[in-house]
Amino acid sequence: MSGITCKFGGTSLADAACVRQMVEILRAHPGRRFIVPSAPGKRHAGDKKITDLLYTWHNMARQGLDVSEPCSLIAERFSELARELNLTFDVDAHLNEIAARVTDFEEPDFMASRGEYLNGRLIAELLEATFVDPAECIRFDGIGRLDPVTYKLLAKRLEGPGLFVVPGFYGATPDGHIKTFSRGGSDITGSIVARASGSSLYENWTDVCGFRMADPRIVRDAKWIEEITYQELRELSYMGATVLHDEAIFPVRELGIPINIRNTKEPDHPGTTIVPRRESRQVVCGIAGRAGFTMFNMEKTFMNKERGFGLRVLSVLEELDVAWEHMPTGIDTLSLIVRDEELGQKGDALREELTERCKPDNISITPGIAIIATVGVGMNHMIGVAARLCGALAEAGVNLRVIDQGSSEMNIIVGVEERDLAPAVHAIYGAFEDWGRTD
């Protein structure tokens, strides 16, 4: 087996014209043999995604409400696709079967998966491809993790010549019940199929040309990232870069299969390629920032000599069930940075417990912090990266509240006041946009 796995997202399959565009893309390269479709997405801003309609259908049916609206919207969408693509695909027969099972399960997974299932059937007919139902070969274990036996089961089903269609988003539990990944999970299926089929490349076709170096709402026309390592992407996704489901890199990562994010509407654009190691000399590949953090600052003379101070801080966090993000320290100071949504209403309790258990000389809380990650493997052993970053912030008049660099030397995290988020990202982008590219 070899070839290319192509996952097509919902907006890339929203109507018949999009599906025809997919066929063009597949025809342009004979290696594109393993196709993973999402359910049809929105055709325009006010439209509904098929998956959302299926969740609604399930929810209403469980409450005994009239389901004719979601049901007929779904029927119309698939009938239109079948009609415009000249397929014999019997939408009504399939929907009747699904309707008969709508209240069978308390969980919505079976219903939610039907968008991918139906679209997969339809596309397989169109392409005269072999349809592979993930219910028969993508396995979850008893606690909902992917069972590695999946790769063997799937590989067997993907043997032989021609095209294969494997719908995204779902698999089955050991007792045969359909289970979905989290939303956007067809990206994960694509990665699993790429690995099981021994593909040399996983193309993820979507509605953007990949990742930009910075959020275009802050830096208009920020450059597209051509190449990014799995590790760099992981750091940037954590800060909110959402083009690809963040679990999608794991199945292919172990085998080093690259993921190429491509835009269906601009098929000639090379997109962003996610690789084990990158060739480009660009020092920083991306900058991502987000607001919504609170900083707890503690000061205590001789903190550096006190045994167990950090342990006490961490045990307070564990007892209050609060996850922390960063913990920059000085000689006599320790700051704790927590996401606001994680902190919820626990801010006062956290302060009280830290005061009680850690007995700092002083504790203060700074809300309204934004965190910015400047990411790039190119900064490893590169002199002057932090200097350049701090210089750019100083020049832009941004006060740096914290700075933290992990030992992997590929991500410098800075904390600034929320109102400084946009000017800070701008300044950092300006400083690194071309560094290494042209030097």
273 binds ligand ASP (CB under 6 A): no
Question: CA–CA separation, 387 vs 403, rounded Å?
Answer: 12
Question: CA–CA separation, 288 vs 173, rounded Å?
Answer: 37
Chain residues 118-157 in contact with ligand ASP, contact rule CB under 6 A: none
51 binds ligand ASP (CB under 6 A): yes
Q: State the minimum distance, in angstroms, from the CB of residue 188 to ligand ASP.
A: 8
Question: CA–CA separation, 382 vs 282, rounded Å?
Answer: 11
Using the minimum distance from each CB to ligand ASP, give the nearer residue, 45 or 383: 45
Stretch that binds ligand ASP, among 59-67, 103-111, 185-193, 333-341 (CB under 6 A): 185-193
Question: CA–CA separation, 211 vs 269, rounded Å?
Answer: 12
264 binds ligand ASP (CB under 6 A): no
Stretch that binds ligand ASP, among 147-155, 182-190, 379-387, 425-433 (CB under 6 A): 182-190
Cβ-proximal residue to ligand ASP, closest one:
186
Closest CA to 403 of 418, 391, 386: 386
Among 10, 251, 271, 360, which residue sits at the site for ligand ASP (rule: CB under 6 A)? 10
Burial (Cβ within 10 Å: 0-12, 13-18, ≥19) of residue 43: middle
Helix (H) or strand (E) holding 113: helix 109-127
Helix (H) or strand (E) holding 195: helix 186-196
Question: CA–CA separation, 53 vs 71, rounded Å?
Answer: 8
Read out DSSP for 23-83? HHHHHT-TTEEEEEE-----SSTT---HHHHHHHHHHHHHTT---HHHHHHHHHHHHHHHH
Among 120, 184, 210, 251, which residue sits at the site for ligand ASP (rule: CB under 6 A)? 184
Tokens of 239: 């800060």
39 binds ligand ASP (CB under 6 A): yes
Among 56, 119, 186, 273, which residue sits at the site for ligand ASP (rule: CB under 6 A)? 186
Stretch that binds ligand ASP, among 177-185, 220-228, 285-293, 422-430 (CB under 6 A): 177-185
3-state helix, strand, coil in the chain (%, to 5): 40, 20, 40
Stretch that binds ligand ASP, among 80-88, 146-154, 178-186, 332-340 (CB under 6 A): 178-186
Closest CA to 135 of 174, 80, 190: 174
Q: State the minimum distance, in angstroms, from the CB of residue 224 to ligand ASP.
A: 22
199 binds ligand ASP (CB under 6 A): no
Using the minimum distance from each CB to ligand ASP, give the nearer residue, 54 or 213: 54
Stretch that binds ligand ASP, among 142-150, 184-192, 307-315, 359-367 (CB under 6 A): 184-192
Among 152, 156, 183, 419, which residue sits at the site for ligand ASP (rule: CB under 6 A)? 183
Closest CA to 54 of 114, 117, 129: 114
78 binds ligand ASP (CB under 6 A): no
49 binds ligand ASP (CB under 6 A): yes
Q: Given the rule CB under 6 A, which residues bind ligand ASP?
A: 10, 38-39, 49, 51, 115, 168-169, 183-187
